[in-house]
Amino acid sequence: MFGFKAARSDAQRASRYRSLATLLDGGVPLLAALEKIGFRTSTIHAPGGRSTSAPSFDGASLGATLLGGATDPALAAERAAIDAAAHAGELPTTLRALASDLETALAARRSALARLAYPLLVLHLLPIAANTAELLTHPARFFATVAGSYLLLWGVLAALVGSAGLLQRSEAGCARLARWPLLGAPLVLLARARFFRLLALLDGAGVLRHEALATATAALGPAVASDGYADWSLRMRRGDPPEQAVEAFVRLPPEERGELAAAITVGALESAARRIAARASERWQAATFRLAGFAGGCAYACALLLVATSIVRFYLGYFARFSPPH
């Protein structure tokens, strides 16, 4: 009955969200808009046929439908945000915000990779340059040396990326990674932006405070351990004063903890959560650039070490020719 190809990449999802938001703003009914962006249905009808509230698609929510049934825990916050926005009647606005966030994240990652491109290129060219002399005299040794250098380089890169991925798959790993100021900052800030953005949506939709906290906390998945989200939710359910409850956030700046406590006291959680999420998103970009700069610096340091090693090897071989035989 249904055919909706999963949009797993950030670029695909951003394009899909923006297209759907444009159609809904233009007065196109939800089901017709879904069909126009690739969703095929035969017997599903939204209430009234023209509503932008989320109908059920074979038991799946609109968020799950838009994500093509993807079960990646990293998409849980996105899925929950779409469902909350649909029930609150803010679907077009939220879809555009999600698209903007995804496009911003893509641009930040591209900029970070661009900063790494040149040092990685240097690391790939150095083994060739350092062993060019052997190409004519010992070609087999030359190719073996270059291949070994590439395998070592790719192995180190794969180990670093794989280790970071494995750490983020468990709460214990996320908590451990969050303790590192440089390496853990992107994880901490991205989780903060997702949590408070979803909390603002749920609070604006009229969801009960405890339910909103539970949903936003669960949507973070393993990243919930990057700060005191679960502890804050527990303190709020227990009825602790807001100024004491926010102390659960050990990595949230003191001024933002005060802003959050004051907002809860006066019933303005939605606006405060949106501001905290926006600032966290900006800081995430800066943290990503810093991490890329650090990685690029490490790559340059390795390149300099290789150059120094090659120079030392060259001169050792050069002077060995003039040394008297033993």
In this structure, is residue 164 part of a structural domain? yes
pLDDT for the residue numbered 325: 58
What average pLDDT does range 3-13 have in this prediction? Answer: 60
pLDDT for the residue numbered 48: 41
Beta-strand runs (E) in the chain: none
Torsion sign across C-alpha atoms 177, 194, 293, 10: positive
In this structure, is residue 287 part of a structural domain? no
pLDDT more than 90, % of the chain:
18
Q: What is the pTM of this model?
A: 0.73
* Structural domains in the chain (count): 1
In this structure, is residue 147 part of a structural domain? yes
Q: What's the one-letter identity of residue 107?
A: A
pLDDT for the residue numbered 74: 66
The structure tokens listed for 306 are: 């290789």
In this structure, is residue 180 part of a structural domain? yes
Range of the domain at 239: 137-280
Q: What's the one-letter identity of residue 39?
A: F
Neighbours of 269 (CB within 10 A): 21
Q: How far is the CA of 238 from the CAs of 143, 216, 229, 249, 315, in angstroms?
A: 66, 17, 14, 16, 72
Check if the beta carbon of residue 210 is closer than 8 Å to that of residue 277.
Answer: no
Check if the beta carbon of residue 46 is closer than 8 Å to that of residue 30.
Answer: yes
In this structure, is residue 197 part of a structural domain? yes
How sure is the predictor about 253, in pLDDT bands with cuts at 50, 70 and 90? Answer: very high
Q: What is the pLDDT of residues 270-295, one digit of tens each?
A: 999 999 999 998 899 889 888 888 88
How sure is the predictor about 296, in pLDDT bands with cuts at 50, 70 and 90? Answer: confident
**Ramachandran angles phi, psi of 53, nearest 5°:** -75, 160
Q: Could you identify the residue written with the tokens 């932008």? A: 52
